[in-house]
Structure 1
C-alpha cells in the first residue's frame, strides 16, 4: 500500500463521509429501496414471493460477482476510480428499473446494481481504511463513519417511496425508481468532485497475502449474517403493511433503521476497538439477531419501532467490525483482498437468503416463520464468530 498522502487526507472525517455516499447509493438505495416498492411491484406485476425474492437474489449474485472482481479492478484502475464507476453503475441500474416492468430487464438491472454496489463498497472500504490510518488514535471512529452511509440512503428512500406510492396510487412503483434515480444523481456529485487521490492506491508489486483457513469460521459467520439480514430487509416492509401499516408507518419504520446508523460510530466505538479476534463481531451480530427476533412477539407499534432501532444500530456496525478485524489482523497490502474475501462470503449468503426465505414464505404462507429463520441464522453467525481468534500481528 502506498503511503497515504497527508495533504490530500488533511480532513479525513470529511473525506470518509464523502466516500460513504458510495454505499449510500449502492446499498442504502440501490439494494434496500427495493423493499419499499416490492409490495406494489408484486401486486402490479403479479409476482409470487419467490419471484420477489429472486430480484434480491439476482442483486446478490451481482454483488458477489462485483466482490470477486473488486481486487482486480482496484489494482487496474485504483481505489477512487473503482468507487466512482461502481457507484455510477448502481445509478444506471435504477434508471433501468424505472423504464421497464419486464422481469428479465428488471433482473438485469438488479444484477447490475449488485456489481456496482460491490465495487463501490469494497473500494470505498479499503480507501476509508487507508484514510483512517492517517489518524491512528481515531482510526476506528473514522472508519465507522463510512458505514453510516447506507443509513442515509435508507432514510432518504423511506421519506420518499411510501408517499410517492400513496400519492400516485397502485402501480406507481416505476415513479419511485425515477425519484430514486434523481436523488442519487444529486448524491453522487460530491463523490465525483472530491480529491480522493488519483491512480492506484494499491502497490501492485506488493503481494496481497490472504489465506482462508485461519478465518474459515469467521467467514461462515459472516455468510450467515448475509443470509439472515437480507430476509429482514427484504420483507419487513411487507410485514408492516400486512399488519395494517400505511405509508406513514412504513416510512417511520424504514427511517428508524436508517436513523440508527448515524449513532453507530458512538455506540460501538469501544467494541470496534477490541483487537480480540471475532469478539466485536459476536457482540454486534448478537445484538442484530435480537432486533430481528423482536417482531416474532407481535405487531405492536412500539415493538416494531424497537426492532427497527436495535436491528439498525447493529446492522451497519457488523460490516464495520469485519473491516476492523481486517485492519487489526492483516498488513495494508492485503486489505483489499481480505475485504473482498469477506464480501464474497457475505455475498454468497445474501444470494441464497432471499430466494430461500421467499420459498419458505410461499410454502407456509407466513412471513413470521421466515423472519424466525432469519433471526436464527443471525444468532448462529454470532456464536460462530466468537470462535475466531487473532490471525497474527499487523504488519
Structure 2
C-alpha cells in the first residue's frame, strides 16, 4: 500500500477503508459474540437458578465453567491444524454453530455430566470460532496498515456485543417464569445466537488468510513473568465472570438491575479495544498487562467494599472495560517482541497458560465458596489473584533493546 493511501486512511478511518472490508470485519465480530460473549459468559446469568433447582454446590457450578474453559483450551491447541485442513471461514462457521447446538443441549439436559459435556462443546466451538475469525480479521487488517488497529478493535468488540445481548433478555425471562425456568433461559440464548451465527455468512468472501510465515519457537523462559501472570489472571477473572451475577442477586437486586449490570459489562467491553489503544501502544515491557490487570482487579474488588448499586455499576464498567483488553496486551507484547515466524508459538504458549488458569480457577473458587458458606471468599480470591497477576506481570521485560516491531502500525 502506498504512503499516500496510508495517510488518507489515517485521516478518515471509515470513509477510506474499503467498505466491503469494514463490513466483513463487522460480520466476523459475530464469531466472538457467539463463541465468547454468549457461549462462555452467559452461563453466569443462568447459574443461580440452575444451582438452586439442581441442588448444586458452588464447586459443582465452578466445574461447568471449568469444562467450558477446558474445551476452549483444546480448541485453541488444535485450531491452527483445523484451519489448515478445513479453511478459516469453514472452521469459524462450524465453531459458531457448535455453540448454538451446545446452548440448545443445555436447555434439554438436566444431568450434570451431560450439561458439562454440552458446555465443553461450547468451549471447543467458541475457541475455533474466535481463533478462525481472528485469522480472517487479521488478514483484512494487513491490507489496511494505517487502520489495522481500528479494524482489529472492531473484531474484538464482538465479545462485548454477546455479553450485552444476553444481558438484555435472560434475567427478565428468569424473573417472569420463576424458579426452575433455567431451561427456558438456555433456549433464549440458543435462539439469540442462531441469527448471529448465520450473520457470519456475510463474511463468506473472505475465505483465506494471508500466507503464514515459517514457524519458530518462542523464547518461553524469557517470557516467564508474563506467562505466570497470565495464568493467574485466567484463574482470577473467570471467578468474577462466573459468580458475580449470583453476588448481585444476593444483594437483593432484581432482574432489571441484573440486566443493567451485565449490559454495563458488555458495553464497556465493546469500547475497550479503542479505549486502551494508547496504553497498548505506549506501555512497553509487561506494563500494559500490569496496568490493565490492575484495573480489572479494582473492578473485582469494588463490590466487596459496598453493595450499593452505583458501586456495582462502577465495578461492571471497570471490569468490563479492562478484562478483555488484557488479552490484547499479551498479543501486543508478542507482536512487539518476536519476529512474525514466532507469533504463533508465542500466542500459543500464552493461550495454554491462560486456558489452564481458566480451567482451574472456577473449581478452586467454588470450593472456597462452599468452605466459607458464601460468595465473598471467592470474590476476595478473584481480586487477590488479579492483583497478584498484575504484580508478577509488571516484572516482565521486553525481550530485546530494540523490539522488532515496535513501530508496526498494527502491533497494538
Q: Same fold (TM over 0.5)?
A: yes
- 10-19 or 339-348, which deviates more: 10-19
Contact 1:260 1:313 in 2 (8 A): yes
Contact 1:279 1:386 in 2 (8 A): yes
For residues 130 and 333 of structure 1, the distance between their equivalents in structure 2, rounded to whole angstroms, comes to: 15
For residues 84 and 292 of structure 1, the distance between their equivalents in structure 2, rounded to whole angstroms, comes to: 34
1:150 corresponds to 2:159:
yes
Cα deviation per residue 1:303-347 (whole Å; 9 max; x = unaligned)? 101000011111121112222223323344443443332222111
Unaligned runs of 5+ in 1: 1-7
Aligned partner of residue 273 in structure 1, secondary structure: helix
Choose the corresponding residue for 2:137, options 117, 128, 134.
Answer: 128
The 1:328/1:17 distance shift into structure 2, 3 A limit, reads farther
1:76 corresponds to 2:88:
no
For residues 41 and 302 of structure 1, the distance between their equivalents in structure 2, rounded to whole angstroms, comes to: 28
Matches within 5 A, 1:272-291: 272-274=280-282, 276-291=284-299
The 1:288/1:37 distance shift into structure 2, 3 A limit, reads same
What RMSD in Å do the two structures reach over aligned CA positions?
A: 2.0
Q: Could you tell me the TM-score, scaled by structure 2's length? A: 0.89
Q: Could you tell me the TM-score, scaled by structure 1's length? A: 0.92
Unaligned runs of 5+ in 2: 1-16
Contact 1:292 1:375 in 2 (8 A): yes
Contact 1:75 1:202 in 2 (8 A): no
Contact 2:173 2:185 in 1 (8 A): yes
Instruction: Tell me the number of residue pairs that the alignment of Structure 1 and Structure 2 aligns.
Output: 387
For residues 264 and 214 of structure 1, the distance between their equivalents in structure 2, rounded to whole angstroms, comes to: 28
Choose the corresponding residue for 1:31, options 40, 63, 74.
Answer: 40
Aligned to 1:240: 248
Shift of the alpha carbon at 1:10?
6.0
1:63 corresponds to 2:63:
no
For residues 196 and 261 of structure 1, the distance between their equivalents in structure 2, rounded to whole angstroms, comes to: 28
- 229-238 or 192-201, which deviates more: 192-201
Aligned to 1:105: 114
Aligned to 1:393: 404
Contact 2:238 2:362 in 1 (8 A): yes
For residues 130 and 199 of structure 1, the distance between their equivalents in structure 2, rounded to whole angstroms, comes to: 8
The 1:274/1:17 distance shift into structure 2, 3 A limit, reads farther
Aligned to 1:171: 180
Shift of the alpha carbon at 1:388?
2.1
